[in-house]
Amino acid sequence: MALTKYFKRGIYAVCKSGLKAFDYIKENGGIDSESSYPYEAKEGPCRYSNRTRLSTDNGKVDLPEGDEMQLQEAVANIGPISVAINARYLSLYDEGIFTRANCSSEELDHGVLVVGYGTEEVRGKNLDYWIVKNRYEISPS
């Protein structure tokens, strides 16, 4: 799993059927911190370690679709939250805050785990972003 930052407009709704991230956390006993498991944009074996665990599974909560303030509160007070995103341009991500103004809130096609949020000044503007964990699996042909 790898951590990436997403601009707020890229995440819209709690994913009701994409619970694979929570299954992963339960099976492995937690998820790593960003500093211990940085995004590398390449395929490789899982290197999860309990010694660098950031969080564990605390159950589930349903949030209203599109309510980013409640999502922020849930991430701060409960822990990681599974959400659905439009991942059409995700392969273009390299580092920093991913800003894609024309992401669709209707064409949600990928589940990720929101683990944090923040605000950063970019070119004189404050940009709010979500910190998400993402995982792609390669299916055998």
pLDDT in tens, 29-40: 887 877 888 877
**Residue numbers of the domain that contains 54:** 2-134
1 has a pLDDT exceeding 90: no
Give the tens place of pLDDT for each residue, 85-118: 888 777 777 788 887 767 777 788 888 889 999 9
Residue 141 placed within a domain: no
In the chain, the number of structural domains is 1
For the entire predicted model, the pTM comes to 0.59
12 has a pLDDT exceeding 90: no
**91 CB-near residues (< 8 Å, 6+ apart):** none
Average confidence (pLDDT) over 38-61: 78
Residue 122 placed within a domain: yes
**Average pLDDT score, the chain:** 74
3-state secondary structure the chain: CEEEEEEHHHEEEECCCCCHHHHHHHHHCCEECCCCCCCCCCCCCCCCCHHHEEECCCCCCCCCCCCHHHHHHHHHHCCCEEEEECCCCHHHCCCCEECCCCCCCCCCCEEEEEEEEEEEEECCEEEEEEEEEECCCCCCC
Residue 140 placed within a domain: no
Share of the chain above pLDDT 70, in %: 74
Average confidence (pLDDT) over 77-84: 83
Residue 12 placed within a domain: yes
Residue 139 placed within a domain: no
Residue 126 placed within a domain: yes
